[in-house]
């Protein structure tokens, strides 16, 4: 059986003790599994005004950790207004081990501070309406899709959740519920997942090579939406990119939201572009479209080299391949993100 | 001397075009394909109508960081009127990602090519 144990001791060892309680409170705020209302957040533009307090519902015991970045910048802004370099993400202890706190509605940081965003998505209030619109249009509440490159292929990414019953049995009830709901979507090959896929490729009709019954005039994205009718789409793109990357991402998001599909944007572990602009673009789009973002970057920021390295024989592609630890966190936090969004919108 | 060289080059070009029997509309699609696999954006956009430029750039961008080359490219033009042609091609674009080759068959495409002010340009697909 593939172990899904997250190396808690390593993360905790890297964290300053004084930040732990703050991280714990922040994680409770952002990552309430099984608490849909708490997971929903105000639209980004109005969050600064959203000062009302909500009481988090008691959470059920969980063996899975909540992954959050240390929100040090929120607590101790520097006089200059420049945020300090974020620290490594930390694992909060199981929610049930602490008293139920009174929590403030989560407030999103600006896109410039994307490194400080929590690993798991804060789900905007508008996402639920979008999801319901999609169901009315015929989207399948039991289907999700992925747009991604080779690191989104089923055998590398989420396929185990359809194929490894023992692994699934080891998950928290909330995650098991998400696996059960989306059974069949995890280990599925699709026209929108292929090595080298860029945002532009998802919109280019030839990219699917006429496989999957896609027609020659149909884009991979259109084909996938026709075939699978997803209610949620994880956009796991960016390692392969182009100059007009954000233009294509907007076209993708326009199509998804028009069809009532809830997108989950993802940041990536690598910095192939050298200035991290692609992750920042993802955060910008999350704000612009008021949609969830799974901040995978933060989930691996404590790993050596951010959990990426070169692959033998493909050195020319650079440090883009996830290490074993990186892969494990990739699939686990993706499932957590999917479950959090689904829980919040359904 | 320079004038002679230029005239010689033009003559050689004309002879080459005549000997291959390639219509300029077909030749421009072949040049477009070459620019695509070379990822030569300025060349690509110089061969396209403004209205088709975003489509052409999407094709270019879709290949992002995969290695690409052409195999067995041969295009033929079906000319209608003085300024319009439909161009079909045989051949493939081979895109290599790591050790994996992906083949993009070009035979299922028809490019719309127009003569604009003496230049044949790719204007649609």
State whether A144 and A270 are in the same domain.
yes
Measured between beta carbons, the chain A residues lying within 8 angstroms of B63 are: 201
- CB of A208 within 8 Å of a chain B CB? The answer is no
If you average pLDDT over residues A92-96, what whole number do you get?
A: 33
Query: Is residue A73 within 8 Å of residue A48, measured between CB atoms?
Result: no
State whether A214 and A86 are in the same domain.
no
The enclosing domain of A292 has a CATH number of 3.40.50.1110
Residues B38 and A136: their CA atoms lie apart, in Å, by 45
Assign A232 to helix, strand or coil.
strand
Residue A177 located in a structural domain: yes
If you average pLDDT over residues A142-154, what whole number do you get?
A: 96
List A residues 270-289 in contact with B (Cβ-Cβ < 8 A).
none
Facing residue for B58 by CB, picked from A203, A240, A317: A203
Kindly list the structural domains of chain B, giving each domain's residue range(s) and its CATH number in brackets, ordered by start: 22-124 (3.10.450.100)
State whether A159 and A245 are in the same domain.
yes
Facing residue for B64 by CB, picked from A198, A203, A209: A198
Mean pLDDT over each residue of chain A, to the nearest integer: 77
| Residue A178: φ, ψ to 5° | -65, -40
Domain count, chain A: 2
- CB of B99 within 8 Å of a chain A CB? The answer is yes
Residues A44 and B10: their CA atoms lie apart, in Å, by 62
- Choose the final residue of a domain: A52, A83, A109: A109
Residues B34 and A202: their CA atoms lie apart, in Å, by 22
Residue A319 located in a structural domain: yes
- CB of B97 within 8 Å of a chain A CB? The answer is yes
pLDDT score recorded for residue B77: 96
- Do the strands A293-294 and A308-309 form a parallel or antiparallel pair, or are they unpaired? unpaired
State whether B62 and A198 contact (CB < 8 Å).
yes
Measured between beta carbons, the chain B residues lying within 8 angstroms of A222 are: none
Q: Confidence band (pLDDT; 50, 70, 90) for A309?
A: confident
Q: SS in 3 state form for A55-104?
A: ECCCCCCCCCCEEECCCHHHHCCCCCCCCCCCCCCEEECCHHHCCCCEEE
State whether A93 and A151 are in the same domain.
no
Assign A186 to helix, strand or coil.
coil
Domain encompassing residue A232: 123-345
pTM score: 0.74
Residue A103 located in a structural domain: yes
State whether B98 and A240 contact (CB < 8 Å).
no
Angle B101-A214-B108 from CA coordinates, rounded to 5°:
70
Query: Is residue A118 within 8 Å of residue A283, measured between CB atoms?
Result: no
Inter-axis angle of helices A324-345 and A173-181, to 10 degrees?
A: 80
State whether A76 and A148 are in the same domain.
no
- CB of A320 within 8 Å of a chain B CB? The answer is no
State whether A172 and A44 are in the same domain.
no
Residue A114 located in a structural domain: no
State whether A199 and A127 are in the same domain.
yes
Of A71 and A109, the one with more pLDDT: A109
Q: Which of A196, A248, A250, A259 is nearest to A224 (CA)?
A: A259
Residues A301 and A269: their CA atoms lie apart, in Å, by 8
State whether A136 and A89 are in the same domain.
no
State whether B62 and A314 contact (CB < 8 Å).
no
State whether A74 and A153 are in the same domain.
no
pLDDT in tens, A316-332: 778 888 999 999 999 99
Angle A223-A225-A227 from CA coordinates, rounded to 5°:
65
pLDDT in tens, A33-86: 333 443 455 444 343 333 332 223 333 333 344 444 433 333 333 323 223 333
Residues B55 and A210: their CA atoms lie apart, in Å, by 19
State whether A196 and B95 contact (CB < 8 Å).
yes
Kindly tell me if the per-residue pLDDT of A94 is higher than 80. Answer: no
Token pair, residue A247, equals 């233009």
If you average pLDDT over residues A176-189, what whole number do you get?
A: 98
Residues of chain B with pLDDT under 70: 1-20
Q: SS in 3 state form for A246-307?
A: HHHHHHHHHHHHHCCCEEEEECCCCCCCCCCHHHHHHHHHHHHHCCCEECHHHHCCCCHHHH
Measured between beta carbons, the chain B residues lying within 8 angstroms of A313 are: 98-99
State whether A210 and A78 are in the same domain.
no
State whether A103 and A167 are in the same domain.
no
State whether A60 and A95 are in the same domain.
yes
Facing residue for B58 by CB, picked from A204, A216, A240: A204
Residue A117 located in a structural domain: no
Residues A321 and A151: their CA atoms lie apart, in Å, by 8
Residue A1 located in a structural domain: no
pLDDT score recorded for residue A40: 57
Nearest-Cα residue of chain B relative to residue A206: B104
CA Rg, chain B, in Å? 16
- pLDDT-wise least confident of A83-97, A124-138, A165-179, A229-243: A83-97
From residue B10, alpha-carbon distances to A131, A327, B22 in Å are 63, 58, 16
Residue A116 located in a structural domain: no
Measured between beta carbons, the chain A residues lying within 8 angstroms of B58 are: 200, 203-204, 248
- Do the strands B84-97 and B100-105 form a parallel or antiparallel pair, or are they unpaired? antiparallel
Q: Which of B122, B54, B115 is nearest to B87 (CA)?
A: B122
pLDDT score recorded for residue B20: 60
In this structure, what DSSP letter does residue A1 have? -
- Choose the final residue of a domain: A77, A109, A141: A109
pLDDT score recorded for residue B2: 52
Nearest-Cα residue of chain A relative to residue B67: A196
* β partners of residue A266: A294
- Phi and psi based region of residue A149 (left: phi greater than 0; alpha: psi -120 to 50; beta: remaining): beta
pLDDT score recorded for residue A2: 40
pLDDT in tens, A211-238: 999 998 899 999 999 999 999 999 999 8
If you average pLDDT over residues A335-339, what whole number do you get?
A: 98
pLDDT score recorded for residue A109: 82
* β partners of residue B68: B95
DSSP letters of chain B? Answer: -HHHHHHHHHHHHHHHHHHHT--HHHHHHHHHHHHHHHT-HHHHHHTB-GGGHHHHHHHHHHTTTSEEEEEEEEEEEEEETTTEEEEEEEEEEEEEETTEEEEEE-TT-EEEEEEETTEEEEEE-
Query: Is residue A228 within 8 Å of residue A141, measured between CB atoms?
Result: no
Highest mean pLDDT among A7-16, A36-45, A77-86, A131-140: A131-140
Measured between beta carbons, the chain B residues lying within 8 angstroms of A195 are: 97-98, 100
pLDDT score recorded for residue A4: 39
| Distinct helix (H) and strand (E) counts, chain A | 13, 12
- Choose the final residue of a domain: A109, A134, A161: A109
Contacts of A156 (CB under 8 A, 6+ apart): A150, A327
């Amino acid at each position: 059986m593939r172990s899904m144990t997250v190396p808690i001791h390593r993360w905790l060892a890297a964290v300053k003790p004084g930040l732990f309680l703050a991280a714990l409170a922040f994680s409770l705020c952002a990552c309430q599994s099984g608490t849909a209302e708490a997971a929903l957040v105000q639209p980004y533009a109005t969050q600064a005004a959203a000062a009302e307090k909500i009481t988090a519902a008691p959470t059920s015991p969980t063996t899975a950790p909540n992954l959050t970045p240390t929100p040090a910048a929120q607590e101790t802004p520097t006089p200059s207004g420049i945020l300090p370099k974020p620290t490594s993400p930390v694992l909060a202890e199981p929610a049930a081990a602490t008293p139920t706190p009174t929590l403030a509605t989560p407030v999103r940081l600006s896109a410039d501070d994307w490194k400080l965003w929590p690993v798991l998505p804060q789900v905007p209030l508008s996402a639920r309406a979008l999801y319901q619109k999609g169901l009315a249009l015929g989207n399948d509440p039991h289907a999700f899709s992925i747009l991604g490159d080779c690191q989104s292929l089923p055998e590398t990414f989420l396929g185990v959740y359809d194929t490894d019953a023992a692994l699934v049995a080891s998950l928290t009830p909330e995650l098991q519920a998400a696996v059960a709901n989306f059974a069949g979507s995890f280990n599925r090959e699709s026209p929108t997942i292929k090595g080298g896929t860029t945002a532009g490729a998802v919109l280019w009709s030839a990219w699917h090579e006429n496989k999957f019954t896609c027609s020659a005039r149909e884009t991979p994205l259109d084909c996938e939406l026709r075939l699978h009718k997803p209610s949620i789409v994880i956009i796991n793109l960016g390692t392969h990119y182009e100059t007009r990357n954000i233009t294509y991402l907007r076209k993708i998001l326009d199509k998804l939201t028009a069809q009532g599909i809830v997108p989950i944007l993802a940041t990536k572990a690598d910095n192939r572009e050298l200035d991290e602009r692609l992750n920042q673009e993802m955060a910008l789009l999350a704000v612009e479209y008021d949609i969830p973002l799974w901040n995978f970057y933060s989930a691996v920021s404590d790993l050596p080299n951010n959990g990426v390295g070169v692959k033998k024989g493909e050195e020319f592609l650079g440090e883009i391949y996830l290490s074993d630890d990186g892969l494990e966190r990739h699939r686990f936090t993706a499932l957590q993100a999917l479950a959090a969004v689904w829980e919040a919108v359904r | 001397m320079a004038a002679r060289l230029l005239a010689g080059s033009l003559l050689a070009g004309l002879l080459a075009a005549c000997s291959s029997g390639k219509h300029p509309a077909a030749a421009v699609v072949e040049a477009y394909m070459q620019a695509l696999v070379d990822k030569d954006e300025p060349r690509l956009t110089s061969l396209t109508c403004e209205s088709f430029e975003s489509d052409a750039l999407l094709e270019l961008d879709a290949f992002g960081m995969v290695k690409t080359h052409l195999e067995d490219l041969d295009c033929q033009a079906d000319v209608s009127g003085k300024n319009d042609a439909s161009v079909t091609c045989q051949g493939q674009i081979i895109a290599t990602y790591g050790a994996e080759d992906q083949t993009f068959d070009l035979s299922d495409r028809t490019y719309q090519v127009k003569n604009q002010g003496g230049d044949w340009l790719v204007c649609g697909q």
